[in-house]
A and B are shown apart, each in its own frame.
Chain A
């Protein structure tokens, strides 16, 4: 893999991009892409070639709404064991967080895999906070298909293509190309992106996570534009098959139904959330704890936090007045500073 950081090839790709002499704004929707971009300074290298790259709504924890987090906190505060991935516990909502609920005696556990949560459920009821896109959601689907006991899911899983559609449709930001997330695409394949490329006449390239993967994807987008094409291409051929992972797609289809839902920073996005199907209702935390969860109203976002605009690609983290001053990873004001996939967190880690 080290070869995918080869400086000579990187320089050659950059020279090709520069030669095309284009001014482009390209969005990706993946925290791991952003990590590679900022860690290796690709953002400034590309800027010198006329290419601006910005992270959109590609951080599952960040796009989870305040209301969803409030629900998780409410469960924890009412004596329910809540299991979740690490980043979630620090996200502030309504002046508190899962971490604070834990400090106040709530049973909040951090897990690395849904399997850990299922094992916990042998000792009593557990609610797993299901966060993540198509990459993560199949593990939730498979788990429920195995009929676990004492186990409930608060599904915050979401589909990426509807968010891209919403973003392009809103027209707030003018984008010339999209770098599609490698591991979401590992599951969904190339097909779901195609209607977007035709509808919005925009090139999309699926990319891996090494520096050369990103540079190559940018070059492939630039070349499409230079040649007047707008197609879906795959740079990450060593992992992504054009049909995706059929088994995972089937598991998703069996367990979830697409439902309309808000994303942080976005109005309701049609068919963008994975809601548990009726057949899986018995695992639905929203049903199991309906009495606790049904009347919660979404709290105000933290004052001054501009995560919404960061997630829509309208501003860079540094353009938020709180960035690095009041807001930093040990005192995060918004989720984009909490999550290691959040644009603010990544920017702070490598540049401050």
Chain B
């Protein structure tokens, strides 16, 4: 249930938005986040709970490399 998946905001309609999960589109409630079309969000049980920061996977890997370097 705590599974939450990232998807892309395709179209906003008031409190709802169409979210694209790599081809599969579903509606989600966006009243808990400030989003614009094109943003990536984490969706849990039909509600977007956070906008993914630009620090995507690549950024995380960079942080990892930094940490491993400094160890």
Listed in ascending order, the chain A residues whose CB lies under 8 Å from chain B are 1, 3-4, 6, 9, 12-13, 16, 30-32, 58, 60-61, 85, 87, 112-116, 131-133, 135-136, 138-139, 142, 181, 183-184, 186-187, 208, 212-213, 216, 219-220, 223, 237-241, 245, 247-248, 251, 339, 341
Contacts and interface: CB of A to CB of B under 8 A. Distances in A.
Nearest to B3: A32
B71 interface: yes
Nearest to A133: B2
Contacts of A116: 46
A237 B2 contact: no
Nearest to A223: B71
Interface in B15-33: 29, 31-33
Contacts of A139: 29, 32, 44-47
Contacts of A85: 1, 45
A234 to B, nearest CB: 10
A223 B64 CA distance: 14
A248 B32 contact: yes
Interface of B: 1-4, 29, 31-33, 42, 44-47, 49-50, 52-53, 55-61, 63-65, 67-68, 71
A247 B3 contact: no
A68 B55 CA distance: 41
Given A9-B65, A32-B2, 14 more contacts: A1-B57, A4-B57, A13-B64, A60-B2, A112-B46, A135-B44, A223-B71, A237-B63, A238-B55, A238-B56, A241-B50, A241-B53, A245-B50, A248-B32
Contacts of B1: 31, 60-61, 85, 87, 131-132, 136, 339, 341
Among B42, B52, B65, max chain A CB count under 10 A is at B42
A115 B16 CA distance: 11
Contact of B68 (A1, A13, A32, A186): A13
B47 A138 contact: yes
Contacts of A241: 50, 53
A137 to B, nearest CB: 10
